Structure 1
Amino acid sequence: MVIEIDFNSNEAYYMQIRNQVIRQIAYGGLEPGEGLPSVRQLAERVGINMHTVNKAYALLRDEGYLRIDRRRGAVVDVAFREGDDMDEISDDIKMAVAKARCKGVDRELLHRLIDEDFDS
């Protein structure tokens, strides 16, 4: 698993980790049942505080992407919860559409971007 922190970004470090883990799960870089580095290992590897990594892992657990196993640590465990997950996905889509509209992106371009990403 490759995680890179952009120290010049305005995005919080724990959110950078969260987002990169989700992308890696979505695109096959991380498989169900696969273990992630320990909090200490990842913190040392990317040069940030252990508490920041722990916060990212806890968020990923709470959002249903990981389970924390006492022996194996953080493990990819994605389970679709229809009600909660659909609400979250719907909210994310609404925000993406709102951002696109603010930037002047039309429906066709947004659909094309989604299709390209979904097919990759």
Structure 2
Amino acid sequence: MPIIVDPFSTTPIFTQLHDSIVKAIASGELAPGTKLNSVRMVAAEFGINPATVKKAYDLLQEEGVVVTHPREGTVVARPTRATAVQRKAIAAQVETALALGKAQGMTPAQLASACSSVLASFSAS
């Protein structure tokens, strides 16, 4: 599974796990129905607490990105239309990311270019 974890990053490890999985799904690396490694397996692979992995998996499930079945494990969910609440939450995250770029000196043209590049990478998969 394409997970990247940097133990020296200021980003919490559960967030790194979450984001790696979301990006892998968006890029097509992880297709709907793909079974994710177990919490224990991921924890052992990275030498981290299983509770950290569970926290990432729980967030993914809450967002509707994965589905967990008690005996079958966690699999990538089939895409559905985002609810109004989900769309609002995503828009807030995009706003925060763009505000951070602006606060760090990016121009509107640079921000638009960054957004276009990311969207193009999703379309390519």
TM-score higher than 0.5:
yes
Q: Which runs of 5+ in 1 are unaligned?
A: none
TM-score by length of 2: 0.90
* 2:22 is the counterpart of 1:22: yes
- Partner of 2:30, secondary structure, is coil
Aligned residues: 120
**Which residue identity is paired with 1:71?**
R
CA distance in 1, matches of 2:27, 2:33: 15
Q: What is the TM-score when the length of structure 1 is the normalising length?
A: 0.94
Partner of 2:31: 31
* Structure possessing the higher relative contact order (Cα contacts under 8 Å, 6 or more residues apart): 2
C-alpha contact 1:5 1:16 (8 A) present in aligned 2: yes
Stretches of 4+ moved more than 6 A in 1? none
Q: Gaps (5+ residues) in structure 2?
A: none
Which secondary structure state, in structure 2, belongs to the residue aligned with residue 108 of structure 1? helix
Deviates more, 1:27-36 or 1:71-80: 71-80
For 2:9, the equivalent position in structure 1 comes to 9
Q: What is the identity percentage for the equivalent residue pairs of Structure 1 and Structure 2?
A: 32
Provide the aligned C-alpha RMSD in A. Answer: 1.1
| 1:3–1:46 Cα contact (<8 Å) kept | no
